[in-house]
Structure 1
């Protein structure tokens, strides 16, 4: 369930691409067989294959060969080596640039607009419609959603006198000042909120920070916007001030050093000793699939809040937003799993039938959500489970919010713009970067150079 990141080397995976046992699309050209590779295993693969069976039943003569446990790196290497499947799956939005930018997946514009096409905006939520495009090319159809939202401990907020979660970045700072406590030696005992790269966060803290301020990753000229969009400077300046005011009594260096120690002593990420569960932190950014763990750290079950074994009384909301980004309140960062048709497919017509069928199968989407806590990208009500835990319902609101989005994706390799921005945030919060405007300008230039090199 954890967010997949593509760390495998192309040099290594290219060696194994030719040895994959699944049949290539070229060898199946004479028949109506479509080969589908996915990373799924176990119960998820069973759900996937059941949907494929429904497609075969609805299309007599069409045969689909489904091969699971094939990760993105192997799929991409095999496609580029000419031995790939007709259809493959990318876990997470950040890797779409590789599949689109390298041409590994075909453009879908003509198929989408054709007689057996899809009205994208009437079928998928706004985030999903936007997320399947890279470099102005729609090369994918979205699958399930991955939602990053704002979690808060209701009991701790109530004890501090707050009945609702913070809606603005100013309120978030004020709440945190009241919720943060210190030990007798001056060290941090409990924290309201930590805008801190590396505090859990899956290396996505900087993305979430930008979302709160409505900062754009690329401009109208398609160049990196870290320097041209002033909201990035505002976001990082806010982080600096937050650390100083909440943790350092107005002194940034003091607050930063205290946070380094506090973060180093955090509880484990995957269990009941997580800081949010122990009350060490009252509010945090996190993924939709962490909700079941906060509710049931042993079983990660989608259970009703009243029956949560952990007894943690928590809520979920959209990210707090800056004053100039107030229209975006209720939103979060929302990305999708993606799938596309390989450039080497010799059976594009049938591959499209399968691709469209998988993307729009409401039964698959509802079952997937029930099993994994991953909301559908489809607008249809039938794509949601028949029942949902009350505490989980805000996730659906965030998913469908028109301001929820994943940032524009370009071919930067292993979504390097994300890791580079995260590294800058870490350097800035540690006091190692003195001029954030200059640093953001340097980052923009480096990202532009990578995009040019890769395209």
Structure 2
């Protein structure tokens, strides 16, 4: 899966916020008498476009292979794939009255605004009409595909996060289950040069390091993002203070300047110079896609995977984690909405289609049937992430009209906090609340 930087996602949401109803280029989904739960032949012949963000040849081939099954069921419907499409392109196409029939996105950050503004059509009527039982999806994905009762997208593969550990560097230790165990082990496994600089880090606690985002970390302590009215809960939920106190204590042990010098010397995350590949980091938080990357780019690394460590006072969270993934739906104004819905329904509920995509792209499939399929390629490394995703306590960032802004506000605060620029954690977190809530007022939330 490819990842949209928060700044880019923020631009997309700003564009969405500016989006008005857009021009109608076709009938609304569900307005036609023939629905996709009738015999496949009942749908008229059509050529539909599916826009997606994947760009690698293997990813595009995976879509082609998955759609082959759809073509067998609906031979009269031809599907044209358009790769490498970003959220803002979808938004502009809807605004201009020339949307694709189907569009997918890597990020869940735009779902709330898409649903609220009508950029994507509400799927609730056709889900009910076709008798789709949403219990085939874990609750966490049904949460991130709707906003305020409007389900405007469906889940299509997902990411799950866990702990990767280098067995050679672990010195016989088992992976930590709690934050205190992580701290103890990180210190034991860290190797310093004669001058005190870091040679090997047991664990890098910097919020500026690769997948160490506030969103991914929030699952380790069960932190709450928002209150029921959409206002920020960051300053009032003690879990955030627990998380950041743990983080700062470990950073101070390393020495902020020393840790930053080491971090900046490391190779890029998505490159052959990733420090985990080069035996420079013993433990790291990462997504399930890293399993395939390690097999291709660093096959000699002897490693293991485990759920992320959790807060010491919340041991019941162990085994869960963070998830967010690809979403897909029918944009407003799609010229062939019924055929489009048939494709969305097939890709998101058909076990064979999901397994085909997961096996090729190496993301987690999103239905219970596909998770349990004997055709799903899995080993002990990948199984960790299947289990994390299926855990009922696995969480995500809740849908919010200002989701990218909220994350950027907290991530910016964490950067200041870890370098020692924040003297009072409680007041600092309340300041994050104010930023988020002021933005919410401006957005009319």
After TM superposition, the score normalised by the length of structure 1 is 0.84
Match of 1:145 among 158, 178, 189: 158
Q: 1:58 to 1:243 in 2, by over 3 A?
A: same
Q: CA deviation at 1:436?
A: 1.9
Give the conservation status (yes or no) of the 8 Å contact 1:93–1:406: no
Q: 1:421 to 1:354 in 2, by over 3 A?
A: same
Give the conservation status (yes or no) of the 8 Å contact 1:219–1:225: yes
Q: CA deviation at 1:50?
A: 4.2
CA distance in 2, matches of 1:171, 1:312: 24
What's the secondary structure of 1:97's corresponding residue?
helix
| 2:316 is aligned with 1:341 | no
Match of 1:398 among 384, 388, 398: 388
Q: Could you say which residue in structure 1 is the equivalent of 2:281?
A: 281
What do the CA deviations read for 1:206-264 (whole angstroms, capped 9, x no partner)?
222222111011123321111121111121111112223x42xxxxxxx2122121212
Give the conservation status (yes or no) of the 8 Å contact 1:101–1:454: no
| 2:201 is aligned with 1:191 | yes
CA distance in 1, matches of 2:225, 2:301: 36
Q: Could you say which residue in structure 2 is the equivalent of 1:322?
A: 311
Q: 1:231 to 1:370 in 2, by over 3 A?
A: same
Q: CA deviation at 1:139?
A: 1.5
Q: CA deviation at 1:452?
A: 3.8
CA distance in 2, matches of 1:384, 1:422: 40
Q: How does 1:346-425 map to 2 (within 5 A)?
A: 347-381=336-370, 385-412=375-402, 415-425=404-414
Q: Could you say which residue in structure 1 is the equivalent of 2:216?
A: 208
Aligned residues: CA RMSD: 3.0
Give the conservation status (yes or no) of the 8 Å contact 1:366–1:384: no
Give the conservation status (yes or no) of the 8 Å contact 1:369–1:384: no
Give the conservation status (yes or no) of the 8 Å contact 1:24–1:85: no
Q: CA deviation at 1:447?
A: 1.8
Give the conservation status (yes or no) of the 8 Å contact 1:267–1:274: yes
CA distance in 2, matches of 1:61, 1:258: 63
Match of 1:76 among 91, 105, 122: 91
**Which 5+ residue runs of structure 1 have no aligned equivalent?**
18-22, 248-254, 299-307
Give the conservation status (yes or no) of the 8 Å contact 1:36–1:64: yes
Q: 1:127 to 1:262 in 2, by over 3 A?
A: same
Give the conservation status (yes or no) of the 8 Å contact 1:362–1:383: yes
Q: Which stretch shows the higher mean deviation, 262-271 or 400-409?
A: 262-271
Count of residue pairs the alignment pairs up: 421
Q: CA deviation at 1:103?
A: 2.1
Give the conservation status (yes or no) of the 8 Å contact 2:308–2:318: yes
After TM superposition, the score normalised by the length of structure 2 is 0.85
Q: How does 1:18-417 map to 2 (within 5 A)?
A: 25=26, 33=46, 34-41=48-55, 42-59=57-74, 62=77, 64-114=79-129, 116-121=130-135, 123-157=136-170, 159=171, 161-162=172-173, 164-201=174-211, 204-244=212-252, 246-247=253-254, 255-297=255-297, 308=299, 311-345=300-334, 347-381=336-370, 385-412=375-402, 415-417=404-406
Q: Could you say which residue in structure 2 is the equivalent of 1:7?
A: 8
CA distance in 1, matches of 2:424, 2:277: 36
Give the conservation status (yes or no) of the 8 Å contact 1:134–1:408: no
Q: Could you say which residue in structure 2 is the equivalent of 1:251?
A: none
**Which 5+ residue runs of structure 2 have no aligned equivalent?**
33-43
Q: Which stretch shows the higher mean deviation, 444-453 or 61-70?
A: 61-70
Give the conservation status (yes or no) of the 8 Å contact 1:36–1:87: yes
CA distance in 2, matches of 1:66, 1:183: 52
CA distance in 2, matches of 1:81, 1:117: 33
What's the secondary structure of 2:256's corresponding residue?
helix
Give the conservation status (yes or no) of the 8 Å contact 1:127–1:406: yes
Q: CA deviation at 1:12?
A: 12
CA distance in 1, matches of 2:84, 2:431: 39
What's the secondary structure of 2:304's corresponding residue?
strand
CA distance in 2, matches of 1:435, 1:136: 39
Give the conservation status (yes or no) of the 8 Å contact 1:427–1:433: yes
Give the conservation status (yes or no) of the 8 Å contact 1:25–1:85: no
Q: 1:270 to 1:176 in 2, by over 3 A?
A: same
CA distance in 2, matches of 1:341, 1:383: 28
